[in-house]
Structures are given as structure tokens and as C-alpha cells.
Amino acid sequence: MSDLGIVDYSTGEIVGGLNYGDVITSQEELQRRSKEKKKRLERETYSRNMKEKFFFIRSNTRFEPLSTASLARLVYLNTFSNYHGRLMITERTPMRREDLSNILRLGRTATNVFWAEVSPEYVIEDEQGNLLVNQAWFLRGRMKRKQFCQYQKIFDVGVRKLYISVNGRTHKHLGYIFSLLPFINVEYNLLCYNPYESCIDSVKLMSIAEFCECIEYSVNHVDRLLKIYNSITFEVNGRQERFCTITYNGINKHNAKICVNPHVFYIGHNFEAVKIIGAFCRE
């Protein structure tokens, strides 16, 4: 039997009981605890991401004259590289040129076009017929923090899940984003003109119209572009998230801003802020 009763004042009914020494937790405190739990889970997710396999790309690299489709395929291909730059199907099985079609999920013609674009500048075939990536462009292993601003960190798992979630025709849309790595803000993963700015209010954002100009895409078809990017999702921790989010005030879509999912690439140290800014989860 309880020492004290809890009464519903609207009905006068006793709806519960308390004993001396019981602690009453307010609704505000419960909400605060819920928010703290959510933040803790975000920190744990960030910690796991930092332990994932990753590689670096020089952040000022434009990868010209690769087509944007070939660039997306090249980034995906590099997720198979080891610390020596060798492309490996498994830990003990080196990748050869004849494996590319299957690895890249492409037909023979598209694979040949890809090879003609990337070899030998980005992918090298050695005397034994094994493939390597050019480590002047791609690098694995840890580096000093002061070097981070010169590189972008690419996550193997995120890139692989993203790549296999789309068909070959959409590879170029992944490549559009990878081609603009020099314009990615290192802290907020926003396309902008001052990528090393750490104050969010001072970031000079790139609009979707300016993005179209950079990738030589007609701004008259921006609705089609928005629809395509809104449809590109991949699995993150058991749920679908967007590759990037394009947001605007609902009035002028040409002023929309672009934020890229940090599970694909991210070099900064404010992972939680990027997830909040981007709101990548698909409803």
C-alpha cells in the first residue's frame, strides 16, 4: 500500500501512489534526459564512423578531364584499395582489369570508357596485370591534424552503400558533388566559397543556381535536378538517408543550399552539427 495517493484533479480519482523516499521526475527533466540520450547516441555513432575504414583525397583536386560518372566510379573503386594503393577484391586477391566490369556493375562498353579515362593517371596496371591507384591522388593511413585541411576524408562503407543504391545513369550526379570537393566546407559539409570558415554564420553558401553553373547544367531544369537528388538515398544504421539535402525558403528554389551527408565524406569534428543542418533522414 502506498503512503501517498496521486489524484487526478479533473475527476477526483486516485490514479497512482507514492511511498516516502520516492523521487518525482518532472516532464521537463524527462525531456532533458531524452535529449541527452539522443546526443550520446549521436556521439557513439560519430565514434564508430571515425573507426571505419577511410581514405583521403586532396581537397583541391578537380579530377579533370574525367567525366563526372567516371569520377564517381573512381571514388567507389578506391574503396577497394589497401594501404599500399593496391586494389584488392579480398585481402589476398588482387584486382585485375578483367574484374572491373563486375566490381563497377557496368557493361563492357562503359567499363572500357572508364578505363580509357582513368588509366594511367589515376589507376595503374602493373607488370603482373594487377591494379593500383595513384597515391598522388588517393591516400590511406592517419595523418597529422594540421594536414586535414588539405584533404577530404572519404568513408568506404558510406561510398559503397551509396554507389550500389543507384543505377549507372545516376553515377554522374554523384560525380557532380565529388567534382566540387574544393567547395565543401570542412566543418559543415556545405557547398560554399570559403570552405575553411568555421563560423556557420560567416559561411558564403553556394546556391543551386551557382551549383548548376559549376557543373554546366541548365538552371532551367533545376526542378529535375532537385527531384533526382531528393531520390538518392542509402542505408545508414538501418534507415535510409539522403546523399545530400537541398533546402530553400519555399519561394525561390534557385537560392537553395546544398549539404552533403557526412557518412559519405567528412573531415571536420562537428559531425552532430552537420547531421542537424542536413536533416538527411528520409521520412
> In the structure, what pLDDT confidence band is assigned to residue 19 with cuts at 50, 70 and 90?
low
Mean pLDDT of 33-58: 68
Q: Residue 49: pLDDT above 60?
A: no
For the four alpha carbons of 115, 120, 123 and 128, in that order, the dihedral sign comes to: positive
Q: Residue 269: pLDDT above 70?
A: yes
**Structure-model confidence comparison of residues 63 and 167, the more confident one:** 167
> In the structure, what pLDDT confidence band is assigned to residue 60 with cuts at 50, 70 and 90?
confident
Mean pLDDT of 230-257: 88
Task: Please list the alpha-helical segments (H only) found in the chain.
Answer: 27-51, 68-78, 100-104, 108-118, 156-164, 171-178, 208-214, 222-231, 271-278
Q: Residue 175: pLDDT above 70?
A: yes
Residue 105 amino acid letter: R
Mean pLDDT of 166-175: 97
Lowest mean pLDDT among 38-47, 89-98, 153-162, 251-260: 38-47
Average pLDDT, the chain: 86
CB 189 within 8 A of CB 259: yes
Mean pLDDT of 188-211: 94
- The dihedral over CA atoms of 250, 281, 71, 87, expressed in degrees to the nearest 10, equals 170
Distance between CA atoms of 23 and 39, rounded to whole angstroms?
25
Helices (H) and strands (E) in the chain, counts: 9, 11
Q: What is the pLDDT of residue 17?
A: 63
What CA–CA distances, in Å, run from 20 to 5, 17, 30? 11, 10, 21
Lowest mean pLDDT among 17-21, 30-34, 126-130, 235-239: 17-21
- The dihedral over CA atoms of 174, 179, 180, 184, expressed in degrees to the nearest 10, equals 70
Kindly calculate the radius of gyration of the chain based on its CA atoms and give it in whole angstroms: 24
CB 229 within 8 A of CB 247: no
Q: What is the pLDDT of residue 280?
A: 80
For the four alpha carbons of 50, 55, 58 and 64, in that order, the dihedral sign comes to: negative
Nearest to 148 by CA among 101, 83, 195: 195
Distance between CA atoms of 68 and 85, rounded to whole angstroms?
22
DSSP state letter for 206:
P
Mean pLDDT of 214-242: 94
> In the structure, what pLDDT confidence band is assigned to residue 221 with cuts at 50, 70 and 90?
very high
Q: Residue 283: pLDDT above 90?
A: no
In which residue are the cell numbers 567525366 written?
67
Q: Residue 216: pLDDT above 70?
A: yes
Mean pLDDT of 100-127: 97
Nearest to 97 by CA among 110, 83, 85, 111: 111
Mean pLDDT of 179-191: 94
DSSP string, 142-204: ---GGGGGGEEEEEHHHHHHHHHTS-GGGHHHHHHHHTTGGGB-TTT-BBBS-TT---GGG--
Q: What is the pLDDT of residue 247?
A: 86
